[in-house]
Amino acid sequence: MTSFSIERATYSVGENALDLMVLEKPEFPEFFQGHQVVREGALDNTTLAENGFKGSTAKRFSDAGRVSGAMRELGPTSNMAMSDGFDFMAASVVHLFDSPDSVHYWMHDIFLKDFEDQIGQSVGQGHQLVSATRLEPQGFFDEAVGLRILQGGANGLISSTVVDFRVGRLLGVVFIGAVGDHDRLTPVEQLGQTLEKRMVRVVLGSM
């Protein structure tokens, strides 16, 4: 199966297939099996904008070619100690766009650029965005970009390692959040490759 044929196959994917693409809890790394699902389901442009940076709008995302999305996020249970180095959060997200070019634009001009433009700014919940360092994720079928994001607040630093990758007109996103300043690129790459395989299986099954 070539990249062109998979890209072409993504045009047969509808919004109702997105829920089938996000990872089920057992597909997350073993460490996260004790965590709980804290958010899951459809992620339309309005919801994404409400949870995005200040000034984000559903129209901006729609104009960028984003149609819809779905997500599943795992978070800590109440009895987990939030100590330095603890991976408290992991998530997989799938976004559907109108074209592969729109996915590329989103990765570079919205995901990377928005984070870099917000360095030093408040990002809600009493947190400030301290840094956003570009990463070079490996092992993906098509284009992939990444960031290691550091936020500071009253309780100290938290870091998130995020990878975005393209599958035709689909965008896969995976991230792991850790307490303190830590790099999680290797497990995030592995999580992303698991998500990519699931996305491709659903795409080929919808042909």
Please write down the long-range contacts of 59-66, taking CB distance under 8 Å and 24 or more positions apart: 61/110, 64/102, 64/105, 64/106, 64/109, 64/110, 65/97, 65/98, 65/99, 65/101, 65/102, 65/103, 65/105, 65/106, 66/95, 66/96, 66/97, 66/102, 66/106
For residue range 36-87, what is the model confidence (pLDDT) as tens digits? 999 999 999 999 999 888 889 999 999 999 999 999 999 999 999 889 999 9
Mean pLDDT of 169-182: 97
From 81-90, 123-132, 153-162, 193-202, the region with the lowest mean pLDDT: 123-132
End-to-end CA distance of the chain: 13
**What pLDDT, on a 0 to 100 scale, did the predictor assign at position 2?**
62
How far apart are alpha carbons 175 and 165 in whole angstroms? 12
What's phi and psi for 203, nearest 5 deg? -60, -50
What six digits make up the tokens of 108?
């570079």
Q: Which helix (H) or strand (E) holds 62?
A: helix 58-63
* Residue type at position 13: V
